[in-house]
Structure 1
Amino acid sequence: MLKSSIAVIAGLLSNVILSILFDTILKILGIIPYDHLHISASLVLFVLSYRIVFSIFGCYLTAKLAPKNPMKHSFILGGIGLILSITGVIFAGHLGPWWYSWSLVFLTLPIAYLGGKIYLWQENSK
């Protein structure tokens, strides 16, 4: 149980830390504004794209660290992400375009699947 929890927490933390770090770097460089209300659709798509990559990596890491059932662990992280995404729609949906928050809701479980599958494909190719 402890190893399973560590696997999920590691995947979650990697996603959060990478996203915050990259957001901060882009803000310091002046690429994205500190005010999330004045951001172009193309910039929102850019932010969404790198956060998708970080999320896939987080689910991959969770699957890799899982003591058994890597897909199950990846989907547990995806479930946590789904809950957080729905919470974001409810409480923070006004901070950007409506479609950004909803895209996170709809993409979370496919991202979890893909992260887990990439790990399995890598393991099966050894």
Structure 2
Amino acid sequence: MRPWIASAIAVATGFLATAVASIATDQAMHATGVFPSVPQVMADPLFALAAAYRAIFTVAGGYITARLAPDRPMRHAWLLAGIGLAAGLASLIAYYGDGRAALGPAWYAISIPVEAIPCVWLGGRLGTWHRSLARTPRAHGNRP
């Protein structure tokens, strides 16, 4: 496989993992009654819950990207962070361009692009650290 294809797969997989996990969790929260049905506006604590699990999924996306990267895992994580930032800014523009109340409070709309870079960075660092552990030779049979 060509390196640029492996790089694209690593970044796309991290992005899709974050997006799919976020959307699936949103749907599960609505289906189980934790979040109200779609026409109703959620209370701020529920938006805080959504922001928290989205942050966790964003860290996981950075981790996945770094683990799958063929080389320079943090460079791949930074690419994912840029894509996440762009997507978050697009949602922020949609928030201010369309019906604000339907999309939640302003702090939530702002939190999405703000958390993209630090969360992906953390996931990338964890993935890089895990890669280095996987490459560290282990002593076999040496017990204290």
Q: Same fold (TM over 0.5)?
A: yes
| Aligned match of 2:104 | 96
Task: Give me the TM-score of the superposition, normalised by structure 1.
Answer: 0.93
Query: Whose radius of gyration is greater, 1 or 2?
Result: 2
Q: 2:48 aligns with which of 39, 42, 45?
A: 45
What SS does the aligned partner of 1:61 have?
A: helix
Contact 1:74/1:116 (8 A) holds in 2:
yes
Verify: 1:115 aligned to 2:123, yes or no. Answer: yes
Q: Deviations over 1:53-110 (max 9, x none)?
A: 1111011001100000100101101100000111101113521100111111211111
Question: Structure 2 CA distance, aligned partners of 1:73 and 1:34?
Answer: 37
Q: Structure 2: 5+ residue runs without aligned partners?
A: 135-144
- Structure 1 segments of 4+ aligned residues over 6 angstroms from their partners: none
Verify: 1:35 aligned to 2:43, yes or no. Answer: no
Question: Structure 2 CA distance, aligned partners of 1:113 and 1:37?
Answer: 34
Q: Deviations over 1:20-66 (max 9, x none)?
A: 11111111101102337611111111011011111110110011000
Contact 1:63/1:73 (8 A) holds in 2:
yes
Question: Structure 2 CA distance, aligned partners of 1:18 and 1:123?
Answer: 23
| Aligned match of 1:63 | 66
**Structure richer in helix, relative to its length:** 1
Question: Structure 1 CA distance, aligned partners of 2:95 and 2:19?
Answer: 17
| Aligned match of 2:142 | none
Identity %: 33
| Aligned match of 2:137 | none
Q: Structure 1: 5+ residue runs without aligned partners?
A: none
Question: Structure 1 CA distance, aligned partners of 2:133 and 2:7?
Answer: 24
Task: Give me the TM-score of the superposition, normalised by structure 2.
Answer: 0.82
RMSD between superposed Cα atoms in Å: 1.4
Question: Structure 2 CA distance, aligned partners of 1:80 and 1:28?
Answer: 29
